[in-house]
Amino acid sequence: MDLRSLNTHFRTLAVLGETESPVISCYINNEAGRAGYRDAIDTRIRDLRKALAPDQRLDFEQALGSIEVFLAADVNPGAKGVALFSRGGGTPFFDALQFRVPLPNVVSVDSVPHIYELVVLKDTFHRYVVLISTETRARIVEVSVGNITKELWTERPELRHRVGREWTKAHYQSHDRDRTQRFFKEQIEILDRLFAKEAHTHLVLAGDRRSIAQVRANLPKHLQDRLADIVPASGNASTADVVNATLSAFAEYEQTGSLETVGLFLDELRAGGLAAAGTEATLEAVVLGRVDILVLSESYAPPAGWKCSECGSVGVDAAPRACPRCGERAVAQLDLKEEMVRAAERVGSTVEIVRNSDVLLELGGVGCLLRYLTPEQHATASHRPSLAEEPGVVVER
């Protein structure tokens, strides 16, 4: 599952239309196999059955059956995390995603898929390149959302077997020094071409200390700027083992980038620029497609929310008996965090999940960098237009 494929799945899930049948979103931690997740999801499923309306139970069981069939026969041996989305009824739907990084055990039921856990995964383990370099071998691989998605280059210099048969020791040592320098230079040239062609943004170096020092000393500045971390690895380590060792290091590096995004967000907010903070203002911006980067605290707990299925209005606070905009009673509770990430994915906005940011929590745990200001915001910084002034979508307090 590479990043491009994941993004396709994301958009499919984000735009999936509502029907009368419920959607089950099931996330599995498969690190310990079936024994590690079965009790947790069985307990959750029993609770969900009790809460379902009678007319939804048949479709729920149909959707659950598809999930159980997949878990029984189709989970990849190397998958540590599995995400399943299933709907029964007259418009059935099923999607399964498997990853080499774990996911939490979470099962939920709603009229639409819950994709927040996938957003966290993509934000933490998006695409990067690993150069694994030792004296005898070099490998360059692409890693997307924890999976090895491409082996971009492999080289094995074969020199030492020639000593004593074709070359003297002195001849070999002289040739070996030249060959080693060319070998490291070749690795850097290939990295340079890959980053220019594929638009990669992050680099991790792995290998023995001597080889990594040689590579790092010769990296051009634009590749130095993309260097996320250095991970020790022996020459006989498998590519999969090296990549697994890079995952936690890259996750920490990503959090540094998330905190830098918070800094940019705060600068714009203080200057009265392209930023909004708090649940209501962020929800307003994201449902109108004005958000460039959605910034969410990992511990963000949104207030109650609601949505009208007739006119599409969404609102903060407890669901009213009737929609304030159209007067219809087609109003249901809404998970505002899920609504925000779905809306962001629909329009291709970036989502940053941030840990350990007290200042973001003080601002309500959520905010965004905007793509543009409305004409009213240009006219006066003190006036934020309500969505009643915009066609098509309304956020009500």
Task: State the amino acid at position 138 in one-letter form.
Answer: A
**pLDDT values of the chain reduced to their tens digit, one per residue, 397 residues:** 666 777 889 899 999 999 999 999 999 999 999 999 999 999 999 999 999 999 999 999 999 999 999 999 999 988 999 999 999 999 999 999 999 889 999 999 999 999 999 999 888 887 899 999 987 788 999 888 888 888 888 876 654 444 344 444 444 444 456 667 788 888 899 898 888 887 778 999 999 999 999 999 999 999 999 999 999 998 788 998 899 889 888 888 888 889 999 999 999 999 989 999 999 999 999 999 999 999 999 999 999 999 998 888 999 999 999 999 999 999 999 999 999 999 999 999 999 999 989 999 999 999 999 998 766 666 655 444 444 444 444 565 5
Fold classification of 126-257 (topology level): Nucleotidyltransferase; domain 5 (3.30.420)
Q: Where in the chain are all domains bearing CATH 3.30.960.10?
A: 1-124
Q: Which CATH code, of 3.30.960.10, 3.30.420.40, 3.40.50.300, 3.40.50.1000, is assigned to 1-124? A: 3.30.960.10
CA dist 295 and 275 (Å) reads: 10
- Helix spans in the chain (H): 3-15, 34-51, 57-73, 116-124, 169-198, 209-218, 221-224, 239-270, 279-287, 336-346, 358-362, 375-379
Q: Where in the chain are all domains bearing CATH 3.30.1330.30?
A: 272-397
Q: Which CATH class is domain 272-397?
A: alpha beta
CA dist 171 and 320 (Å) reads: 86
8 A C-beta contact, residue 9 and residue 95? yes
CA dist 195 and 225 (Å) reads: 12
CA dist 217 and 247 (Å) reads: 24
